């Protein structure tokens, strides 16, 4: 099965404007969506709108569980009935996951580590051992392999497509029923207006009703995000590290910070450890 319309990188870039590497996303979508019959303009527009809302245009693909004690007490009052009970978990993502996801969705107790192991991943966050097991069985992989796969871009897309297909969202997309799609994904109507607006825009773009500009070249540093300590942009951080003669592991830590500052000093730039447009242009020019 193939797409029923011209699904180009340029059209995708116009639909997911917050994504800085539409080429890589396009490759993943083309590999995955036809397997789940997400091939029409209506279905692809809806998938991009709903997943785009959930994952900030496929840029946040793992659950952020770095909650403060106050937030945990407010969000999970049954798990953290008092502020004092939440304090030991303050901003400890792994401990929070093990606490709030314990003894449900097929997970073991808090000490088992299942909450963190099977935390939310993917464009529509797959959560809990039972759901990961179903996904693993569907794609013919072991549970451990399925977890690792969801941490790749293609796996993040496929886990969302699996949820989409299993929950009958293709039929809802065919009917352009944004409210029911949102309820099935979110459990309510949170963000409904944003999802609707993105859907309408995506329909116009994918059907060719509006012209689109060429997608930015991810290999051109002018199109890169600003990189600094703790940057989540592993692809660009790795390229930066390689240019600095470091191990290209994609993690912008103290070693990368020190090396960048040294390079900036040697090249007459402000040694702030921030790879913005000027630094990137000089480094890669």
Whether residue 222 is predicted with pLDDT greater than 80 in this model: the reply is no
**What is the average pLDDT across 54-68?**
92
- CA 193-195-200 angle, to 5 degrees, is 95
pLDDT tens digits, 182-219: 999 999 999 999 999 999 999 999 999 877 877 666 66
**Cα–chain-centroid distance for residue 255?**
26
Mean pLDDT of the chain: 92
- Name the DSSP letter for residue 62: B
pLDDT band at 84 (very low <50, low <70, confident <90, very high): very high
pLDDT tens digits, 128-149: 999 999 999 999 999 999 999 9
Whether residue 225 is predicted with pLDDT greater than 80 in this model: the reply is no
Nearest Cα to Cα of residue 54 among 125, 103, 110: 125
The answer to whether 47 touches 15, Cβ cutoff 8 Å, is no
- Position 219 scores a pLDDT of 65
**Cα–chain-centroid distance for residue 278?**
28
In the chain, where the domains are located = 9-61+127-206, 69-117, 221-284
- Name the DSSP letter for residue 80: -
- Position 218 scores a pLDDT of 62
- The residues near 184 (Cβ < 8 Å, ≥ 6 apart) are 167, 168, 169, 172
- CA distances (Å), 153 to each of 6, 9, 67, 97, 258, in order? 22, 16, 25, 22, 30
**What is the average pLDDT across 242-248?**
86
Q: Give CB contacts under 8 A, 24+ apart, made by 127-131.
A: 127/63, 127/101, 128/101, 128/104, 129/105, 130/105, 130/106, 131/105, 131/106
- Least confident segment among 111-115, 163-167, 218-222: 218-222
**CATH pick for 221-284 out of 1.10.101.10, 2.60.40.1180, 3.40.50.1170, 1.10.2020.10:** 1.10.101.10
pLDDT tens digits, 246-275: 887 778 889 999 999 999 999 998 999 998
* Alpha-carbon span 12 to 14, nearest angstrom: 5
pLDDT band at 236 (very low <50, low <70, confident <90, very high): confident
| β-bridge partners, 227 | 275
Helix ranges (H only) for the chain are 9-15, 22-32, 41-55, 69-75, 83-86, 93-100, 114-117, 129-139, 143-150, 153-166, 169-174, 178-186, 192-206, 234-243, 254-266, 277-284
Whether residue 95 is predicted with pLDDT greater than 90 in this model: the reply is yes
- The residues near 31 (Cβ < 8 Å, ≥ 6 apart) are 154
**What is the average pLDDT across 17-34?**
94
pTM for the whole thing? 0.77
DSSP string, 175-204: TT-HHHHHHHHHSS-TTHHHHHHHHHHHHH
């Amino acid at each position: 099965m193939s797409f029923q319309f011209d699904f180009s990188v340029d059209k995708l870039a116009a639909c997911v404007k917050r994504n800085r590497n539409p080429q890589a996303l396009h490759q993943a979508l083309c590999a995955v969506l036809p397997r789940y019959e997400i091939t029409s303009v209506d279905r692809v527009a809806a998938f991009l709108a709903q997943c785009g809302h959930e994952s900030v245009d496929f840029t946040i693909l793992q659950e952020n569980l770095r909650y403060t004690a106050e937030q945990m007490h407010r969000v999970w009052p049954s798990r953290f009935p008092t502020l004092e009970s939440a304090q030991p978990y303050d901003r400890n993502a792994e401990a929070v996951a093990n606490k709030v996801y314990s003894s449900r969705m097929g997970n073991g107790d808090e000490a088992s580590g299942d909450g963190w192991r099977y935390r939310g991943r993917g464009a529509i966050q797959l959560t809990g051992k039972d759901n990961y097991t179903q996904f693993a069985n569907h794609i013919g992989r072991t549970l451990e392999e399925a977890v690792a796969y969801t941490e790749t871009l293609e796996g993040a897309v496929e886990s969302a497509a699996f949820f989409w297909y299993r929950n009958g969202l293709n039929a809802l997309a065919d009917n352009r029923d944004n409210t029911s799609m949102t309820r099935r994904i979110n459990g309510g109507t949170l963000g409904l207006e944003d999802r609707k607006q993105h859907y309408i825009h995506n329909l116009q773009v994918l059907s060719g009703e509006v012209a689109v500009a060429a997608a930015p070249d991810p290999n051109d540093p002018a199109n890169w995000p600003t990189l600094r300590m703790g940057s989540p942009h592993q692809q660009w951080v790795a390229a930066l590290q390689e240019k600095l003669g470091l191990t290209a592991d994609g993690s912008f830590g103290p070693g990368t910070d020190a090396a960048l500052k040294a390079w900036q000093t040697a090249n007459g730039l402000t040694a702030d450890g921030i790879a913005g447009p000027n630094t990137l242009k000089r480094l890669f020019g």
